[in-house]
Chain A
Amino acid sequence: MATTRILEWLGRFYIVLLLGFLYLPIIIMAAMSFNASPFYQLPFEWTTDWYASLWQNDQLIAATWNSIEIAVITTIISTVLGAMASLALYRYEFRGKKVLQALLFPPIAIPWLITGTAMLIFFFGIGIGRGLVAILLGHVALALPYVIVVVSARLQTFAPELEEAARSLGANQWQVTMRITLPWIMPGVIAGGLFAFAVSFDQFVVSYFLSTPGQTTLPVEIYAAIRKGFTPEINAVSTIIIVVSMALMLLTARFFKFGGEK
């Protein structure tokens, strides 16, 4: 049928458009990181100078390491705490549970600008002040609700008889959790961890409020660098980050077959 063919082509066109929309800016940026001209001028002239000079930019490298460190620690803390909280919410009935569950969602919707201001005031009030510790605490607080939401969604598909069966076979609570429940929710925990990593690693607003000139993260450093004057070094560092994070995502997706696992 002619109409089905047209629809098929429209569908393909739509997908191309969508992918273009998502990836074109990134591809251009990556291309420009290999272009000799610092002002995005064509014709394209291959160079790796920007990567070489990036290597000399201690500030950017320090900020990158800060970002990675904070993102990794945030991921670990918020994944462990979040998974434990999800299990508690799943297993136990207690007073105020509904209120607690309801209170988990608003932080996702509250603008980061407001959260950031509130954290800045709060951390000053209690004496933590600004710096990497404050950024870390802030990121954990931002990431936790995401982890809990994702892990809880996975727990909804868990059959509670599995825990009962394990207990009937003599397993204590710890063995039940480690050998039955945790393996089941693992895809959710991994996904929650990815969210936590992304929330922390991408975080600009809250980090901006909580950083000091010496103690800052990559997004804040990039912003500061752009304000001083744009250099293609930023393209270079961004390209590295994109390649690494895409590789990580693809690997995880391949290992854990999101949604498709049975």
Chain B
Amino acid sequence: MAGVQVANVSRSFGAHKALDDVSIDFADGGFYALLGPSGSGKTTLLRQIAGFDFPDSGRIAIGGESVERVPVEKRRIGMVFQNYALFPNMSVADNVAFGLSVRGEAKATIAAEVQRALDLVQLGKLGARKPHQLSGGQRQRVALARAIVTKPRVLLLDEPLGALDKALRVDMQIELKRIQREIGITTIFVTHDQEEALTMSDRIGILRDGRLVQEGPPEEIYDRPQSEFAATFLGDANIFRGNATGNGILLADGTTIAAAVGDRLVPGAKASCAVRPERIQISTGVVKPDTGNANSLKGQVSKRIFAGNNSTYFVDRDGQTLKVIVQNTGAERLAEGEPVVLSWSPDSTVLIAA
């Protein structure tokens, strides 16, 4: 097992810069999500780490060993593909055995290792089946068993759960995490699903247009996004744009929003504030001064979406629609069209340089 270092990696396809000076350190044994919209370069980065494609410049190391010019078959990685890429002409057991067999391992060793890997993904009895006789979730497990049976130094997953339906996806998330913990392998996981990234990974790297936007533990990125993009791509956020004051921003209409999180900025500079929808309180009356909710705005409910455990209110305010999520505590629900006051704490407000 080994960590992976990506240092100043760039890769262009013609005039398109797919990766632009990306550096990330993937710690040994960690579970890392590369998150970004399509075309952000996350898959390109994964393919550089796998060795399907080589960077134009920069360095990639696995376990301290430079590999940026080593082809994939010599990198000792395991990879799970988006559509599993199971070999259709082989049985499940032969699929899993493939990596050991091309290495010329003894038949008995292969059989034992394959059984162990299939047991690990709870498919111990299905070795004789053909891939087309399996369900989507089972194929996923076979692909995973095939990728880890060779004891790779790093496990790469390219949107592995994208083809599964929602319930199965949640099961597989838990399962994948369990297996990863059990074998302790460094795992790099490409996804465009922010929820998946949040729930599964130790660290997240957000990519956009070939650049690394922000990188860190999920909680840190969620609580302290460093850009509007990071704030809105990982979770939902209400964004206010204005000019920086000493401890917040001043909106165009003269409202001040106090922010206690994020960088201090030079007063007057263009800046924005991000507030998570669940951090905002919504009420029909006046806000009590002792709640610590120094920020308050007036608005009007334009829409309410009831989702059982919570409700989302869309509140119109001066041409902007703000989103507020309220837990279902049994309290009275607000009607559409009702005038409301929104309030929240500066501790829930992140100041972001524009």
Contacts and interface: CB of A to CB of B under 8 A. Distances in A.
A167 B82 CA distance: 16
A162 B50 CA distance: 15
Interface stretch (A50-58, A170-178, A224-232, A245-253): A170-178
B85 A170 contact: no
Contact of A180 (B73, B87, B99, B146): B87
A161 B83 contact: yes
Most interface-central of A159, A164, A169, A175 (chain B CB within 10 A): A169
Contacts, number: 66
**What DSSP secondary structure best describes chain A's contact surface?**
helix
Contact of B73 (A161, A172, A179, A262): A172
B98 A161 contact: no
B79 interface: yes
B87 A170 contact: no
Interface string A150-172: 00000000010110111111111
A112 interface: no
A128 B71 CA distance: 46
Contacts of A262: 88, 132
Given A164-B52, A262-B132, A169 B85 contact: no
A161 B81 contact: yes
Nearest to A163: B85
Nearest to A168: B79
B78 interface: yes
A168 B72 contact: yes
A97 B67 CA distance: 32
A11 interface: no
A162 B87 CA distance: 6
Contacts of B147: 168-169
Nearest to A184: B89
Contacts of A164: 52, 72, 79, 81, 85
A183 interface: yes
B131 to A, nearest CB: 10
B88 A171 contact: no
A73 to B, nearest CB: 29
Given A164-B52, A184-B88, A262-B88, A169 B102 contact: yes
B103 A159 contact: no
B238 interface: no
A165 B79 contact: yes
Contact of B99 (A170, A172, A183, A184): A170
A1 B352 CA distance: 75
Which of B83, B98, B147 gathers the greatest number of chain A CB atoms within 10 Å? Answer: B98
Contacts of A166: 87, 98, 102
A161 B85 CA distance: 6
Contact of A167 (B72, B76, B78, B88): B72
Contacts of B76: 170
B66 to A, nearest CB: 19
Interface residues of A, number: 18
Contact of A159 (B72, B73, B85): B85
B87 A165 contact: yes
Contact of A168 (B78, B87, B88, B132): B78
A187 to B, nearest CB: 11
Interface in B66-102: 71-74, 76-79, 81-83, 85-89, 98-99, 102
Contacts of B187: none
Nearest to B72: A167
B102 A175 contact: yes
- Listed residue (B50, B77, B85, B88) with the most chain A CB atoms within 10 angstroms of its CB: B85
A175 B73 CA distance: 11
Interface string B31-69: 000000000000000000010100000000000000000
Contact of B102 (A171, A183, A184): A171
A159 B87 CA distance: 10
B73 A171 contact: yes
Given A164-B85, A175-B102, A183-B89, A170 B132 contact: no
Nearest to B83: A161
B256 interface: no
A169 B99 contact: yes
Contacts of B85: 159, 161-162, 164-165
B98 A171 contact: yes
B219 to A, nearest CB: 32
Nearest to B77: A168
Contacts of B74: 170
A180 B87 CA distance: 7
27 contacts: A162-B85, A162-B87, A164-B79, A165-B85, A165-B86, A165-B146, A166-B102, A167-B72, A167-B73, A168-B50, A168-B72, A168-B147, A168-B156, A169-B73, A169-B99, A169-B146, A170-B76, A170-B99, A171-B98, A171-B99, A172-B102, A175-B102, A179-B98, A179-B102, A183-B89, A262-B88, A262-B132
Pairs A-B, 8 closest by C-beta atoms = A169-B99, A161-B85, A165-B85, A168-B79, A171-B102, A183-B89, A167-B73, A167-B72
Interface of B: 50, 52, 71-74, 76-79, 81-83, 85-89, 98-99, 102-103, 132, 146-147, 150, 156
